[in-house]
A and B are shown apart, each in its own frame.
Chain A
Amino acid sequence: MSFVPVTPVEQAEMLATIGLTKIEALFQHIPESLRATSWDVPPGQSEMAVRARLAQLAGHGDGTRICFLGGGYYDHFVPAAVDALASRGEFATAYTPYQPEAAQGTLQSIYEYQSAVCRLTGMDFANASLYDGGTAVFEAATMAVRLTRRQHIVCHDSLNPLYREILETHTANLGLELLDGDDPAGAACVIVQNPAFLGDVRDFAPLAQRCHEAGALLIMSFYPLSLGLLKTPGAMGADIAVAEGQSLGVPLSFGGPYLGILTTRKEHVRRMPGRLAAATEDAQGRRGFVLTLQAREQHIRREKAMSNICSNEALIALRALIYLCLLGKEGLREAAAHCHAKAEFLKRRLSFARLLNPGPTFNEFAIRLPRKAQEVCAALAEQGYLAGLPLSAVGRGEETDLLVAVTEQRTRAQLDAFAEALARACR
């Protein structure tokens, strides 16, 4: 099986047109010494057999437990229309819109996505997408280095520790210095996250002001769905706001594909990485959309490009757009309000554990248990729960600390039962 439609008779005709008789002759110019020394890929299997094998692997894990696990990736509801529309072949099997007249569907959807993200964040410009939340932090940091010509990047302790690690890997050879804290003096940027990795919700407006007084930029990593309620990065004065877009209609999928969101202020748009769609007209005055400011990109500027990104996450950005349209103005507020209210309800039910957040949280909070968090997670998994993220596993707490997330999908009955199960496991 190879999805090759050419028949043996046609193949012979085609070879004759080329002036050959055997298909192997197409490779005869490659010296024998450069040919594969071994080739031990197993024989092909039928679709039926392959699907059975994959179903077995998919079943050998568990996505059916009631989920209180978050840590930057959340079990939100995905309306059926998101899958139905985003899986249309006309979207899924199209390429990057380099021929705009044959890609108006793609380009208009990017323009609408950019619009929706700007309205959500209070920022001026959004690009067409980056890979994910972690790599978006790296892109934002190097954008700040380009804009300020400074070499220090300051990471606030609110930042997801995985993002910090990704930033460190990507910048290892760039001669940049990564510092911790919130001192903007001499820095290209201070990178914060809201809500924080441990769940705390803050107003970073005062820090934004300190950054600007010191000539640094404030980069904010945000949780898109939380903006149904929370003050926006734009309103706080962020210069670049980035996000993991998974909460907007994207399944958890063991880590990807996800969506990197990047937004910025008007004055910085020419230094922004990634594709950008813009509205324009044809000769007859009809509205149409094109990619613009392409001189920032690798296919034009090569080693002087703002980023090396080529493939992005366009189809996932489309999912996020469809999700935002389906929820709409009121639905997004409702989803965020439900997440918050249900988390607050659970928080109060877990009074046997010590709450580690000093102030308000959105839908996630950290607790200290009387037992090791990993043991508790293992015990609760047996009862059908993903209890949360043991914080020591990501280097952010004691062995007894657990990060618990609640989404709009949890019911009061589930919250009650989980609180009891957790209490039992801690006894």
Chain B
Amino acid sequence: MELIFEKSRPGRRAVVFDPLDVPEATLPPALCREEPAALPEVGELDVVRHFSRLSQRNFGIDTHFYPLGSCTMKYNPKMAEAVAAHPGFLALHPHLASAPAMWPLCQGAFELIFELERLLAGIAGMRQVSLQPIAGAHGELTGTLMIAAYHREKGNARDTILIPDSAHGTNPASAAIAGFKVVEVPSLPDGTLDPEAFRKALNESVAGVMMTCPNTHGLFEPRVREIAQMAHETDALMYYDGANLNAIIGECRPGDLGFDVMHFNLHKTFATPHGMGGPGSGPVGVGERLEAFLPGPRVVRDGNAFGLASPPRSIGRISAFFGNFLIAVRAYAYILHLGGDGLRQVAHNAVLNANYVYARLKDLFEPAFDGPFMHECVFSAAPLAKHGVHALDIAKALLDRGFHAPTVYFPLTVKESLMIEPTETESKETLDAFCDAMAEIARLAAREPETLHAAPVTLPVGRLDEVRAARELNCRV
């Protein structure tokens, strides 16, 4: 398909402004650009057709089943989009929060932030929540910065964060970006954390432990409380990666499990679609130990009015205002709509769907672990290597059959990993159709592996030359 730049015709316009109703003004030429930016010269219909057609070259939840493990690609109700598009929210200037004289003009937004923080704290068993972090990884960074501030305040010389080998890549990256050394702790063969390995790794240099529960193997960590106790005995803090919260919402709360700090992925659990990679939202929740260190300023209630104040030992601003506010609007509407029972059903049916897929596929593909699984299940395609078939071939063959691929080659702890998270919003017939496709692919792997190597054949392009892309580095026109 042509680039929008290739559709450009000199002199063609879409948006034209009214004639200037004040005198023209000029800036000194030395401060001005010499040529106008070479942006496309196109009409509105050119733009509409171009982007409509581009959109049709995508798989999205609105069009396809998307069982990407650890990504929680569930359906997000259109109601949440509608409330986030309210002109009263869209037009609200963030600097209204900067001067108390203007606070009366943003009371509704303050109230929403206050209420959502309170609801999220209750859902997770945390004392306070801050909406400032802009994405999940930003929440991790905020959390580890608070852990650093906690130890600095106490005069503890701590420079290390312990992270299980099954963790998302963002965990070690965030800890390192915050200034910590990262020590990886191996999992047991059953896919859960090894408390003995933890005991050995815990020493006076450990500032905190980052965990995901259920972990990226789809398994609940049964010894999480024991690990939290060990950590707390050495004054190390426990960080909960909320990426997989969808699996336990209403059944378990990170605060009750012994965690001191966590992030939520509002875009995974609470009704914001993934937008091709973002925007997301990564609020942090904290227990008693870190309450005083939350980013500020925060929305506080003062009688009937809402205002701002900073916690006593706040780490400061982690984003300019209140994070991705419109994502918070969606999450608030979603929680109100589903309510306590609806949220609990989310976890129940997310786990039901994952276990159903597991039950249907476990004799066709090699399970990486025995389970019991929570929201996702992990298989290994390694046994198919003898036919020359790899996880990537299975992924591409699924695309041809109208399904997005599962997450492949992650977690890194499993060879040729296929990680499947169906989510609660998919119907039985969709899961059955997916499992039927997987069964067909398993048959082809043994009998006609070459047909899998050729996939995908039904999409606008076949497998692309990534080596060439990195060598030529053609990243713009």
Contact = CB atoms under 8 A, between A and B. Distances in A.
Chains A and B form a bound pair = yes
A102 B59 CA distance: 6
A134 B342 contact: no
Interface string A307-333: 111111111101000101111111111
Interface string A197-213: 00001110000000000
A61 B92 contact: yes
B71 A95 contact: yes
Interface in A357-409: 360, 362, 373-375, 377-378, 381, 386, 389-390, 393-394, 408
B388 interface: no
B203 interface: no
Task: Indicate the size class of the contact surface on chain B.
Answer: 35 or more
Contacts of A301: 169, 173
Contacts of B359: 17-19
B137 A298 contact: yes
Contact of A61 (B109, B343, B470): B109
A34 B224 contact: yes
A101 B463 contact: yes
A228 B3 CA distance: 22
A29 B470 contact: no
Contacts of A375: 101
A63 interface: yes
Given A102-B399, A108-B57, A169-B315, A135 B138 contact: yes
Given A93-B62, A386-B93, A44 B395 contact: no
A55 B86 contact: yes
Contacts of A180: none
A280 B140 CA distance: 34
B81 interface: yes
Interface stretch (A81-89, A148-156, A183-191): A81-89
B168 to A, nearest CB: 8
Interface stretch (B230-238, B326-334, B444-452): B326-334
Contact of B469 (A62, A292, A335, A386): A292
A92 B267 CA distance: 12
A371 B151 CA distance: 45
A330 B48 contact: no
A172 B461 CA distance: 46
B383 interface: no
A292 B467 CA distance: 9
Contact of B60 (A40, A92, A276): A92
A50 B81 contact: no
B1 interface: yes
B418 interface: no
B262 to A, nearest CB: 15
Interface string A295-306: 001111111110
Contacts of B410: 299
A59 to B, nearest CB: 5
B250 interface: yes
A26 interface: yes
Nearest to A372: B101
Interface string B309-341: 000000111111111111101001101111111
Interface in B274-295: 274-280, 282, 295
A5 B252 CA distance: 24
Nearest to A277: B475
A381 B22 contact: no
Nearest to B88: A58
Contact of B352 (A23, A269, A307): A23
A256 B90 contact: no
A327 to B, nearest CB: 5
A386 B95 CA distance: 10
Contacts of B425: 3-5
> Interface size for chain A: under 10, 10 to 19, 20 to 34, or 35 or more residues?
35 or more
B363 to A, nearest CB: 12
A81 B17 contact: no
Contacts of A102: 58-59, 64, 399, 404-405, 456, 459
Contacts of A81: 14, 44, 47-48
B349 interface: yes
B13 A299 contact: no
A172 B275 contact: no
A100 to B, nearest CB: 5
A332 B41 CA distance: 11
Contacts of B59: 94, 99, 102-103
Contact of A45 (B122, B182, B339, B358): B339
Interface in A4-51: 4-6, 10-11, 13-15, 17-19, 23-24, 26-27, 29-31, 33-47, 49-51
A96 B66 CA distance: 12
Contact of A393 (B3, B44, B56, B99): B99
Contact of B55 (A38, A88, A324, A333): A88
A166 B318 contact: yes
Given A4-B425, A100-B464, A389-B99, A254 B3 contact: no
B39 A119 contact: yes
Contacts of A162: 317, 320
B28 interface: yes
13 contacts: A6-B349, A11-B352, A36-B256, A73-B94, A94-B61, A95-B68, A115-B476, A132-B320, A174-B178, A232-B33, A293-B470, A299-B169, A374-B100
A103 B91 contact: no
Nearest to B467: A280
A427 interface: no
Contacts of B426: 5
A309 B202 CA distance: 28
B17 A341 contact: no
A313 B399 contact: no
Given A308-B174, A328-B14, A173 B145 contact: yes
A341 B23 contact: yes
